[in-house]
Every structure is written in structure tokens, then in C-alpha cells.
Homo-oligomer: A and B are copies of this chain.
Amino acid sequence: MSGGVVLELFNVLTVQQARTTLADHLTVRTKETVVPLLDSLNRILARDITARDDVPGFDRSTMDGYAVRACDTFGASESLPAYLDVGGEVLMGQAADGTLQPGQAWLIPTGGMLPAGADAVVMVEYTEELDQRTIGVTKPVAPGDHVVRRGEDVAAGSLVLTAGHRLRPQDLGLLAAVGVTRVPVREPLRVGILSTGNELIPPTQPTTPGKVRDINSYTLYGQVAEAGGLPTLYGIIEDDFQSLYQAVARALAANDLVLISGGSSVGTRDATAKVIAALGNPGVLFHGIAIKPGKPTIGAVVEGKPLFGLPGHPVSAMVVFDLLVRPLVESAGLLRPRQKFPLRAAITRNIHSATGRDDFLRVTLRRQADGSLLADPVMGKSGLISTMVKADGVAHLPLTKEGVEAGELVDVWLF
């Protein structure tokens, strides 16, 4: 089958269509494994976590003061304090030695366990010590005041974290609170990265006329690692069918996902498409997506594994990675990216954009005195990596819009 034939079968898809098409053909989901709690940061939870215990396991004071029955303080004021007997003292980390009786107040530290019988805490600031055994309460409390109830943070039996969630620092804290110290997570997605193009040399080599150093292997390695994947570089592959076929087959066998970048020329892109078509089914799902930069993108699935032919231009490859590849890597193949919100910023120049195409514009941001943001476009061809280094993020001009006027609000995704 010739490359030309392959190409004619596929249309240019929108980003949303490309995502849907990929999802329809994907079965990738990495294996489950168990890691110690401290190693679980940024990992994808493999199972729902249900609390075994109440957190906290008892009613707990949130203030230094006295545990009381709230009803014993009703009507108390500075001029007419409620007098209570000091019935005992709660020691930190210990159950109270006895039950609080009506008319009693027990000294309690912040974090201390309420004695049985008590239902509120009076802050020490609203008490006066009359003698060793008696205090005056100068302000009434309601039941539950200055108390964290047993199970108020987490109730035993409740679902605290769901499978597919990426674990943040606070999630580690919650797992510690419910006593989960061995955490079921997904293995990271293994991503093989290849660069093609006879013009490429490794960054360790001096440049010579006609040669440029490989950039995409390194930006993609960084993007994969940042998304929680396990990147492996396969280097610069010769731009002929046999070399490319062998290298991609090898990368595909050892990884869950393969990225082939480069092939900025039509000839190389066709060669990549031919290689993918020869590797297995269903093969190429789309060739070209309606975005700028990033149009010459190939999306494929081979035996259940996704394979992308990314554009050679560094900016284009990075933008396409963010849109189509990152969600897969971030969720270890579960296609459930974490929710994330773009910034809203006013664009500072009129920008033309064709309808029917998603445009992604590099921008730097400036914050105004009123807190609003301005987005200044960073102009420059998509082959220029320096433009991505200067920019704070990319503004999205959706495919329904024919450009934006200066002052219009756009979504900006930060790097």
C-alpha cells in the first residue's frame, strides 16, 4: 500500500473529533501496583479508597479551654458568669479519666479528646479562674462549639478518593489520616520517543551546514516526565522505511505509547504514515488535524497502543502533545485527565484565525492593577523554540471563531 493511498482515506479532523476517534480505539490502561505512601505523590490511584475509621476517631477540641455541657453556659455574660466546677483535666493524646458531670468544666488543650458528657468547649479567653476548683464562664457556647465531631473530617465507610485520581499533597495527608500507607496506583505510562529527519544531529554534536540539533526529543521527554509518564528516547532514526519500521516496532514492543516527531517535509510525513500502516491494525486514524500550529499530525492505534506522528516544528509538537497526548500520559491511559482551568486574559492585538480550526497562540501575561490579565502575543514561526521559552502559555482561539479583536477575553493555558 503506498503512502499516497493511505493519506487519501483520511480527513482532517477537529481536535475534539481526533480525541473521540482515539478514545474509540483505545484499550490502554497500565498495570496496577502498590507503592509506599511517600512514593505515591502524583501517581494515579488504581482503586477507590474507602475510609475504615472515623477521622477524627472522637470529638476533639479546636481550642485551648474547658470542655462543658453547652446548656450549663446558657445566659452567661461578663456581668453574670456561669460558675462551673473544674472536674478534671484532659491530657493530650489520652482519653479523659471519667465522665463530665452536669455543672462541671474540664480543662482541655487544642486537639484534646472531649470527655464523655461534654458537648462543647469554652475558649480560655471567656473564662475566669475563681479558685483552684471553680471557673466563671463569661460567654455562652452552643453544642458543638469549638469541637470537631467524631467523623466530621471523614466518616468511616465513606469513599474518600476515587480510582483514576492523581494524588496531590493533600491526598497523601488524607490517606495517612485513614491509615492507608500502601497505596494501589497505576504504573506510569511508558512512552517511546523517536525523532526522524536526515537534517537532525544529536545536541552533543557541533552543527554543520544543513544540519540542526534535535530539539523535539528533549521537549517531548520533558513533557512526558512532567505528565507522570516514563519516557525513553530512541534517538534520531534514518529517514527510510526499513530503519523507521524497525525502530518504531522496537519502541512499540517496549512501551505503552510511541511518539515519532520530525518529518516536517511531505516526503518524511508520508514515510511515517506508511510505516504506521505496515505495523498493524487499525493503524492510522487521522492524518492532519484542524489546528494551528500542529496541522500535520498523525494519530494511530496499533494493536491497542496509541502512536502519534508529531510535526517536526518544536512549537507544533509541544502544542499537539498538550492537546492529544498529555491526557493519556497523565491518567496512565485511563483517559481521565485531572480537571484544570485556563486563565482568562484580554488579548492586546487583533489576531486573525480561520474558522473551522483551533488556533493556539503563544502569549506572555501581564497582571493589571485590578487583577485582570493582559495577554501579549509572542509572534514567531512555529519552528522557533525560543518563542516557547519566552511565552508564559498559549491562548486558545476556538474553531468557531474567526479571530479575536484586541480587548477580547481568551483562555490561556499556562506552561
Q: How far is the CB of A338 from chain B (nearest CB, A)?
A: 10
Residues of A357-408 whose CB lies within 8 A of B:
365, 367, 371-373, 381, 383-386, 388-389, 392
B218 & A38 in contact (Cβ 8 Å cutoff): yes
Q: Cβ of A55: which chain B residues have Cβ within 8 Å of it?
A: 212-213, 385-386
Q: Cβ of A209: which chain B residues have Cβ within 8 Å of it?
A: 57-58, 94-95, 113
Q: Does A409 contact B (CB under 8 A)?
A: yes
Tell me the bound Cα distance from A67 to B222 in angstroms.
35
A93 & B383 in contact (Cβ 8 Å cutoff): no
Tell me the bound Cα distance from A176 to B217 in angstroms.
9
Tell me the bound Cα distance from A172 to B161 in angstroms.
35
B177 & A385 in contact (Cβ 8 Å cutoff): yes
Proximity string of chain A (45-56) to chain B, C-beta cutoff 8 Å, 1 when within and 0 when not: 000000001011
- Least CB separation from A214: chain B residue: B176
Tell me the bound Cα distance from A200 to B77 in angstroms.
36
B180 & A203 in contact (Cβ 8 Å cutoff): yes
B344 & A372 in contact (Cβ 8 Å cutoff): yes
B199 & A179 in contact (Cβ 8 Å cutoff): no
Tell me the bound Cα distance from A340 to B415 in angstroms.
10
B199 & A112 in contact (Cβ 8 Å cutoff): yes
A341 & B173 in contact (Cβ 8 Å cutoff): no
Q: Does A14 contact B (CB under 8 A)?
A: no
B264 & A111 in contact (Cβ 8 Å cutoff): yes
A223 & B344 in contact (Cβ 8 Å cutoff): no
Q: Does A188 contact B (CB under 8 A)?
A: no
Tell me the bound Cα distance from A38 to B223 in angstroms.
11
B173 & A216 in contact (Cβ 8 Å cutoff): yes
B341 & A239 in contact (Cβ 8 Å cutoff): no
5 A-B pairs with C-beta separation under 8 A: A62-B383, A93-B211, A148-B384, A170-B219, A181-B204
A residues with CB within 8 A of B: 37-38, 41-42, 53, 55-58, 60, 62, 64, 91-95, 109-113, 148, 152-154, 160-161, 167-181, 197-200, 203-223, 225-226, 233, 239, 264-268, 312, 314, 318, 339-341, 343-344, 365, 367, 371-373, 381, 383-386, 388-389, 392, 409, 411, 414-415
**9 additional contacts (CB under 8 A) given A60-B212, A62-B383:** A56-B212, A92-B198, A110-B312, A148-B384, A153-B385, A169-B221, A170-B222, A179-B206, A341-B367
